[in-house]
């Protein structure tokens, strides 16, 4: 078994021990919240970010392809644009691509979405799931915001709602606004008052596991 974290990777036949088939699990990155920027400009409800997507598939490697992998990295929610990275595996007739989750981001600021399955060419015995959408917060709700990030299928959990209190409601620490790897969506970020600390929910990175 080999585990690959966020980034670009080259996987040679020796890396999977020249096996005639392998099983892969792949997650794309979870979305990061930029709802703070949306809320400043439009005063819209905060919303959690969507999780990454997931697949598990068997791949024929009897022709010993060298594979190229991209494992998505979550966006930095403190700056624009708020686009997390897709994940993919490519080589020979293999073309697997899954898009990342996303969070609220200008200019539209109107939706979040879980990652999607884009391509599954060259696979068999496939289990796949699209990402989960983040939850929305009713603007000004009290005392329990519901803007947590979406949890990744068979992967990381979504972050707790990042609406600012000290400490945030229902969050044991400020760090839990972040989603966990692989693929969890970040919690929303929104400052309810000028003196409230801003908490930005960052999604979990994607991951690739190869079994041989």
| pLDDT digit string (tens) for the chain, length 212 residues | 999 999 999 999 999 999 999 999 999 999 887 766 665 555 555 677 889 999 999 999 999 999 999 999 998 876 777 789 999 999 988 999 999 998 777 666 666 788 999 999 989 888 888 887 665 544 444 444 557 788 899 999 888 765 555 444 555 554 567 889 999 988 776 555 555 555 667 899 999 999 99
Nearest to 147 by CA among 19, 15, 18, 38: 38
Burial class (CB in 10 A: 0-12, 13-18, 19+), 27: buried
117 touches 128 (CB < 8 A): yes
Helix (H) or strand (E) holding 23: strand 21-27
Q: In this structure, what DSSP letter does residue 113 have? A: B
104 touches 21 (CB < 8 A): no
Burial class (CB in 10 A: 0-12, 13-18, 19+), 193: exposed
């Amino acid at each position: 078994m080999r585990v690959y974290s966020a980034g670009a990777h080259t996987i040679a036949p020796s890396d999977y021990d020249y096996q005639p088939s392998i099983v892969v699990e792949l997650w794309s990155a979870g979305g990061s919240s930029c709802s703070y920027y949306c809320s400043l400009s439009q005063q819209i409800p905060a919303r959690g970010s969507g999780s990454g997507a997931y697949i598990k598939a068997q791949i024929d490697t009897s022709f010993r392809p060298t594979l190229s992998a991209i494992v998505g990295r979550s966006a930095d929610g403190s700056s624009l644009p708020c686009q997390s990275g897709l994940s993919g595996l490519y080589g020979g007739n293999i073309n697997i691509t899954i898009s990342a989750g996303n969070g609220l981001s200008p200019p539209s600021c109107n939706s979040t979405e879980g990652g999607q399955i884009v391509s599954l060419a060259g696979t068999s015995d496939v289990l796949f799931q699209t990402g989960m959408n983040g939850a929305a917060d009713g603007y000004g709700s009290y005392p329990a915001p519901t803007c947590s990030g979406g949890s990744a299928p068979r992967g990381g959990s979504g972050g707790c709602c990042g609406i600012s209190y000290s400490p945030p409601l229902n969050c044991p620490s400020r760090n839990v606004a972040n989603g966990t790897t692989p693929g969890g969506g970040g919690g929303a970020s929104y400052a309810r008052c000028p003196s409230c600390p801003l908490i930005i929910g960052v999604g979990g990175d994607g991951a690739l596991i190869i079994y041989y």
